[in-house]
A and B are shown apart, each in its own frame.
Chain A
Amino acid sequence: MIALVLDGGIALLTIGIAAWTIRAADDFAAVVGFVAYGLILTLAWTRLGAYDVALTEAAIGGGATGVILMRAGARVKPAPVARPSKRARILVGALSAAVAAGLSAIVLLPPQPAPSLALEVRQHLASTGLGNPIGGVLMAYRAADTFLETVVVLLALFGVWSLGRDAHWGGRAGPAPRPGEGGALPLFARVLVPAGIVIGIYIVWVGADAPGGKFQGATILAAMAILAGMAGRYPPGRSSLSASALPAFRSPAPSSPIRPASRSR
């Protein structure tokens, strides 16, 4: 009974936060909604017993993607959004409904018996030397896929690098400015980054036999790099690179999400 209430609550919250995110009034609110959506999905995966997926969702879906979206939202210049015609909107709605219906059909009416290699993986897991079946699949059976995913990301980076204008890179790469002496963020980065590097490596290491692995661990390492980079440019305006520094705090636009609440609501 309690489990039903809990699971039902998580399901309702998932749909509710998704709808709220789509309807959010500004980009900042939408990103906040997206991060909250990632966290509630993490809870859902935990309830399903998929701890590896839950960790990945928390690290990548909620954390890293949230940071990327927030930076993108602050950097991209506002453009007038042309409202699509009614016919286009109906078409998009119909196509979206068709995709949703197709996905639900796959989930609700799976072929019997469902195609699965899970049993074989479990039987031969010992030969990979890994105790975590998900780690075994990703790092042993699908080693080439996992490796080539990294190559694809690298190629995408080269593509953006080659096609993007120099100005959009925020200047030539060089020695990072010295971290600011005062302020909460430099202190935070100084203390947390060493601990975070250890935790990131630990997550990869423990992924051999327990939930964890390279995706989650690498995301934590990336978060530490972002944190160190942000702290080096804090407080905003301190360094000559500040045009690209902490864009979340610098982008000019009409309204602030952190505003004293009006009592006249």
Chain B
Amino acid sequence: MSVLLGLFSAVSIVAGIVFFVAGTVGLLRFPDALTRLHALTKADNLGLGLIVLGLLPYSGSLGAALKLVVIWALVQFAGATVAQMIGALAAGEHPPFRGRRRR
């Protein structure tokens, strides 16, 4: 049983890392803000979700497992909100933030 659990964790965490790597590659390679957001949110949602899923068997207690799930849910929620806001900026619905050149 513990072998199966270990295998399950390993597969989940590796799959999560794959999503993070793919999201990072997308962030660096995709041409504009909206497609980059698309890549980034996949890493946040699925990548972190799979890693949390893989860590659940090792969390030790039900409370700790619940905390991990809550962390994933909060990151999902924050990520979705930020993606919405940046997407609105990129689509020109609000005046964009502009950093000023320093030199």
Binding site for B on A (CB under 8 A): 24-30, 73-74, 78, 81, 183-185, 187-188, 191-192, 195, 235-237, 248-261, 263
Contacts and interface: CB of A to CB of B under 8 A. Distances in A.
A250 B95 contact: yes
A188 B81 contact: yes
Contacts of B18: none
Nearest to B102: A26
A-side binding surface: helix, strand, loop or mixed? loop
A258 B102 contact: no
A78 B99 CA distance: 10
Interface size class of B (residues with CB under 8 A): 20 to 34
Contacts, number: 91
B80 interface: yes
B95 A184 contact: no
A201 B31 CA distance: 43
Interface stretch (B4-12, B48-56, B82-90): B82-90
B98 A184 contact: no
Given A252-B98, A258-B97, A191 B89 contact: no
A191 B77 CA distance: 9
Interface of B: 30-33, 74, 77-78, 80-81, 84-86, 88-90, 93-103
Contacts of B86: 258
Contacts of B74: 192, 195
Contacts of B81: 184-185, 187-188
B95 A249 contact: yes
Given A185-B85, A261-B32, A255 B77 contact: no
A26 B102 CA distance: 5
B19 to A, nearest CB: 19
Given A26-B102, A81-B102, A258-B86, A248 B77 contact: no
A30 B81 CA distance: 23
Which 10 A-B residue pairings sit nearest by Cβ, starting from the closest? A28-B99, A184-B84, A26-B99, A253-B100, A188-B81, A253-B98, A260-B32, A256-B96, A184-B81, A78-B100
